Structure formats: C-alpha cells, structure tokens
Amino acid sequence: MTRTDSRTDELRIVIIGAGMAGILTAIKLRQSGYENFVIYEKSDRIGGTWRDNTYPGIACDVPAHMYTYSFEPNPEWSSTYAPGPEIHAYLERTAKKYDVLKYIRFNEEIPHCEFADSRWKIRTASDHEDIADFVIAATGVLHHPYVADIRGIDSFAGSCFHSSQWDHNLELAGKRIGVIGTGSTAVQITAAIADQVGRYDLFQRTAQWIMPIEDIKYTDEDRDGFRTDRTKLEAVRQQINDEFEIFSNAVIDADSPAMKDIEDACLANLEDNVHDPVLLEKLRPNYRAGCKRLIFSEDFYTAIQHPNAHVLTEEIEQIEPEGVRLRSGELRDLDILVMATGFRVDSFIRPTTVLGRNGVNLDDIWAESPVAYMSISIPEIPNFFMLNGPNGPVGNFSLIQIAEHQINYIFQLIDKIRIGEFQEISARSDATTEYERLRSEAAKKSIWATGCKSWYLDKNGVPASWPWSRARFFDEMAAPKLESFDLTG
C-alpha cells in the first residue's frame, strides 16, 4: 500500500550502489510512496558485479529463478543457472520498467559520509554535496578485486588482468593461457575456454570440491509455458526453493545427514568423472566438502581433462616477462595471465570514510573485523543501514532473497522516524556484542568451521556468515526488536 503521509516527501534517502540491492531499494521506496531519494553509482551503468564481471563462462551459482526479484519473475531465463549477460540484462530491464534510472547519478563515487545534527552530509568524488536523513549502503561484497602479491607480476610481457577486468579484445584461439586461482570464477573460465586455446594452465593452490548440477536448458516451449501460465513458473520456483532449503540447513550443521549426502555427491562426482589417477589426486581436496564455498559445475571435470589443459599444483616462485616460474625452476611460457583470485570481501562500503555520532569512524569500529547487528545496523552510526552487510547469510541463501527481507526490515525502522517517534536509530552496542557472541558460537558448528582456509573466515578463523536456518532469518527480518536499538527522539 502506498503511504500518503507527507513525511515520505520530506525524508531524503541516499542509496549507495546501483547493483541488485540498490535497484531493489529504489523500487521498494517508490512503491512505499518515497520519491525524495537518489542512487549514487560509481560506474556509468547499473548492474554491480554483473556489470563488472564479463569473463567467459560467467554464470550465477544460484538457480536463476531463485536469483530473481519476487515481484518481477522472469520467464525468459535460458537455463537453470543463467549466464551473467542474461542476469545483467534482467537487472537493466527491471530498472527501466520501474523507472529507476532517473534517480541515479552515474560516475559519482562517494568517498565521504558524515553524520551531524541528525542528518548525513555526503560528498562525492566530483565534490557534489548532498544532505540526507538516511543512507542505505547497497555496495555488495564482490567489487574490490583481490590480486595476489606475487613477485614480478608487473614484469609480465603478455596481457595480465584480474578476471573482473576481462579484456575481450584479446583473441584466445591458439594462445597459451594461464589462470591463477581455483574458485568459482576459475572453474567457470576453465569450462568455457580450456578446449579453445593453444594451452591452458590452471595454477592451483588448493583443490576444490565440485557439486554436480544439471544446468537444464529451457526450451521455447518451456518459456512460453512460463509466460502464459504463472503456476508453472511458481512451481519451478517452489521446487528450487525446497531444494535450496535442504542445502541451506545442511551447511550450518557439519554433522547433519544432509551434509553427509552433499559430501558423498561431491566425492562421487570427482571419482566417477576424473579418469587419470595423477590428475584425480591433484583435484582431491584435503578438507571436507562445503568448508570452502561449494562450487557448482556440470562440466569442469570434463574441461580440465582436455589435452590442452594442465593443473599445476607446484608453488609459484615468481612471474617473469615470459610467464610463470614454478618453485622447481620450470617456466610456463604464457601469452595471457588471468588473476582469478577473488575479491576483498571484508571491504563492504570501504574505502568510503563513514563518520557516525560524535565523529566516530567506521574504520575504528571495524578495526578488529566488520560487524553489524543483523548485518544491517552499526552502533554509533545512526540512520545508516546496509544490505548484505557483515556476517550475513552469503554462503547459503540467494542474495536477492536476503536483500528483499532486509529492506523490509529497514523500512520498518525508517517508518519510526517518518511518523515522528524518533530522530536517530542505530543498533545498541550491547545488543550487537551479544548478537555477535551467539552468531560466532553457532558458526563453529557449521561446515565452514571444519578446518580449511576460506574467505568465509574472519581473521580469528570464525566463519563470518549467518549460522542459522533460513526460517530463523525470515523470522528475524519480519520485525525489528526495538529494544536492540538506540532510539533518540
């Protein structure tokens, strides 16, 4: 229902980021009667990680019908796991349909936000200034590339780039390609190009468990059915949701029977599909399946067994103009070197300077590690909310599903100021500390805490993720517990 209270016009809201979560926020604001808002986007297009990442083989590892706004189902997905360009096109199409683009200021990165006199003072990199009642950080987690610190990387004479900065002007046929990394990105790149190049070298520090999937290609008849019969589309979404529920609940209990079934499936996938015994042992991880972010692929093992493909497990000594020098002294001559080394997932809104109540700096609050109550609100940072913030359910949920529930929660807090009950809202320090204590303790029972090194772990080795069920998350997001917030009237 659209609100008619005039405060929806008076309140000024700044959204940072025009990716999946920023677009969602804008749509929901308009549906709730708010028009006085702006999205500041550092790039010249919307789309976030789906705009930035265009490497060969890019796809979502969540089934597409789950990675879809609940209010904007998409009957046009080409397959179960939609390729990246389709997801980006879906976001662009949705933003246009809901008239979001007029609210976006492109090429406006925000280096500074400061809270004073119950309002936010925002300054962009172009020195544009804005004043807002609320800031909603929809900056995501996969937007600050991490490049491994390897000696000599700047000396490489060929083309070298991070996977999120793929150079599509390069001709791959006949070239010697090296990819450093073995996460989801490297697996997708391998499956896409290993059989197309002159030689393909995958530099593996850690083997990965691969969960088998069936990437069903939807036919024209399937898509026509989805368009004309909404129940067919809902049935597919419900089936995926039920399967996801099993997976989501399995990973939070390392000793669950469902987790054992997942591990058995990964082991069978490896042993049934890799035929060379030497390669099999190279690709056999020495930790439990799911401890690192589980990788979903139907064709990686086939691709990595192509005659052109090689798995190099020896440590890299340095990078030289001609290629990669291994610790043994062997030089792998290369034309193109790709750093599929992931992202700095603990940055969130940083490097933006965020100054809260009495000038407290977010960098100081996060000196040990990023924290936020319910991954949304930070003590001493009033009227500032995050979508998919620290320690949220990034490992076992659809991020769109998470963001939709979080924005509903945030709007309930904004409403308290809209109707004049309070001027400032932020999480209480004691509530955040207790929440983190309970979350950290529960996380130790998850599969992520079973002894591997992964980007899920904070610097103390504790999984930085939501360790409870989806049902509990949905219950928590249904309504804020106001006793957990500092409410200044």
Q: At what angle do helices 230-251 and 220-228 cross, to 10 degrees?
A: 100
Residues 348 and 331 occupy one common structural domain: no
- pLDDT number for residue 1: 31
pLDDT per residue as tens digits for the range 152-163? 999 999 999 999
The domain containing residue 239 runs over which residues? 153-216+224-339
- Flag residues of the chain having pLDDT under 50: 1-6
| Secondary structure (3-state) at 104 | strand
Question: Model confidence over 205-238: pLDDT tens digits?
Answer: 999 999 999 999 999 999 999 999 999 999 999 9
Instruction: Give 224's Cβ-side CA count (13 Å radius).
Output: 3
Q: Are residues 452 and 383 in the same domain?
A: yes
Round to the nearest angstrom and report the end-to-end CA distance of the chain.
27
Kindly state whether residues 409 and 476 are assigned to the same domain. yes
Q: Angle, to 10 degrees, between the axis of helix 257-273 and the axis of helix 230-251?
A: 100
What is residue 6's predicted lDDT score, i.e. its pLDDT?
A: 45
Shared domain for 205 and 246, answered yes or no, is yes
For the chain, the helix, strand and coil percentages under 3-state DSSP, each to the nearest 5: 35, 20, 45
Distance CA 295, CA 291 (A): 11
pTM for this entry: 0.95
User: Of all helices (H) and strands (E), which one includes residue 211?
Assistant: strand 210-211
The two tokens of residue 186 are 């490297």
Q: In what order do the strands lie in the sheet with 316-320?
A: 316-320, 323-326, 331-333
Rounded Cα gap, residues 349 and 248, in angstroms: 27
8 A C-beta contact, residue 54 and residue 168 = yes
Using a 10 angstrom Cβ sphere, with 0-12 exposed, 13-18 middle and 19 or more buried, the burial of residue 350 is: middle
Residue 193 belongs to a domain: yes
Residue 330 sits in the same domain as residue 198: yes
Which residues, at least 6 apart from 175, have a Cβ–Cβ distance to it below 8 Å? 197, 198, 335, 336
Task: Name the domain boundary from 322, 339, 356.
Answer: 339
With respect to residue 241, please indicate whether it lies within any of the assigned structural domains: yes
Question: End of a domain among 292, 314, 339?
Answer: 339
Do residues 106 and 183 both lie within one domain? no
Give 121-125 contacts, CB < 8 A, sequence gap 24+. 122/14, 122/40, 124/40
- Domain membership flag for residue 56: no
* Distance from the Cα of residue 54 to its chain's centroid: 15
Assess contact for 409 and 376: CB atoms under 8 A.
yes
For 481, the token pair is 């517990």
CA pseudo-torsion sign 224, 229, 230, 234? negative
- 138 and 13 within one domain: yes
Whether residue 348 is found in the same domain as residue 332: no
53: in domain: no
Q: How many domains does the chain have?
A: 2
Same domain (yes/no): 161, 187: yes
Q: Is 418 helix (H, G, I), strand (E, B) or coil?
A: helix
Would 90 be classed as within a structural domain? no
Distance CA 43, CA 91 (A): 15
Contacts of residue 471, Cβ cutoff 8 Å, sequence gap at least 6? none
Domain containing residue 356: CATH number? 3.50.50.60
Q: Are residues 465 and 428 in the same domain?
A: yes
Both 246 and 285 in one domain: the answer is yes
Residue 24: inside a domain: yes
In a domain, 381, yes or no: yes
How high is the pLDDT of residue 307? 97
How far apart, in whole angstroms, are the C-alpha atoms of residue 384 and residue 13? 10
Tell me if residue 5 falls in helix, strand or coil.
coil
Note whether residue 86 is domain-resident. Answer: no
- 165 and 211 belong to one structural domain: yes
**Which of 311, 339, 367 delimits the end of a domain?**
339
3-state class of 339 per DSSP?
strand
